[in-house]
Amino acid sequence: MMFLQRFNALARPASILIVVLMAAWVLYHFAPDPSARQERRASGPLWSGDAPVETASPTDAMSPRAIAPQQFATPFAQNAAELERIAPRAPLTPQVEPETGPRPTLLHKPLVIAAGEIVFPEGGLRLKGIIVTDPDETCTSPDGQLWPCGIIARTAFRNFIGGRSLSCNLTDDRWKDILVVSCLVGRQDPAAWLASSGWVRTFVGSKYAELEQAAQKEGAGIFGNDPRGLPAVPDSNVAVSPDSVSSPTDPLPVPLR
């Protein structure tokens, strides 16, 4: 009995060792070869009908380019013969050429010195298409009376401008001589207003000539009577009788001492 127990105790480890050795022998003889697996992987999948892909060897790489400082920014200069220059594409947006002629310029702080002539801090200008009415000019009304039409025309033009800024077509922001240009006051043409109001005359062929003719027919501005409505100034050469001069009804005040 004791003998059988010892035999069983020794036989169990021996059997385990035999099983391990047999498993190692099977794995050694039937395991796939690693080198064959690498060759099969390099040749591509077994189910692919394409030819195996050839990999470039390090020796097939491009040879290093010679050091050329003048070609640093143009690495393809050595292959310039293989390149073809094509025409540039059209711009995505149309190119706008800068304006070189007169452009609208906003002028502030106008000072009217005559009907049709204005002075600004940048310089003086006259309105195009009309003849400036001199402030010293006098006109004869239809009834033969003289009146200072030049001063009144200037005052009327000042009231029209009213300190508003003018937009004039100028070639420069500052100038020395008096310019003859076209201007706007808001959306109004001041030259057209002067011609239609009869405060100026126009040149031959001016676009404001019809406005002047209409003002003459209506007797407006310098073509009519004194708009102030003052009585006529008596002629100094005509004698005045003493009876025509009325004496004051109220006594003169006594000066204070």
* Cβ contacts of 50 within 8 Å, gap of 6 or more: 44
Task: Give yes or no for a contact between 117 and 123, defined as CB atoms under 8 angstroms apart.
Answer: no
How sure is the predictor about 85, in pLDDT bands with cuts at 50, 70 and 90? confident
CA distances from 37 to 31, 33, 46, 80, 117 (A): 11, 6, 12, 46, 103
How far is Cα 67 from Cα 51, in angstroms, rounded to an integer? 40
pTM recorded for the entire structure: 0.53
Domains annotated for the chain, with CATH where assigned, are 103-223 (2.40.50.90)
What average pLDDT does the segment 157-182 reach? Answer: 89
pLDDT in tens, 107-128: 999 999 999 999 998 889 999 9
What average pLDDT does the segment 21-45 reach? Answer: 67
Q: How far apart are the first and last CA of the chain?
A: 173
Residue 37 is predicted with a pLDDT of 60
User: Between 228 and 5, where is the model more confident?
Assistant: 228
Residue 250 is predicted with a pLDDT of 45
Residue 110 is predicted with a pLDDT of 95
How far is Cα 170 from Cα 110, in angstroms, rounded to an integer? 15
Residue 203 is predicted with a pLDDT of 94
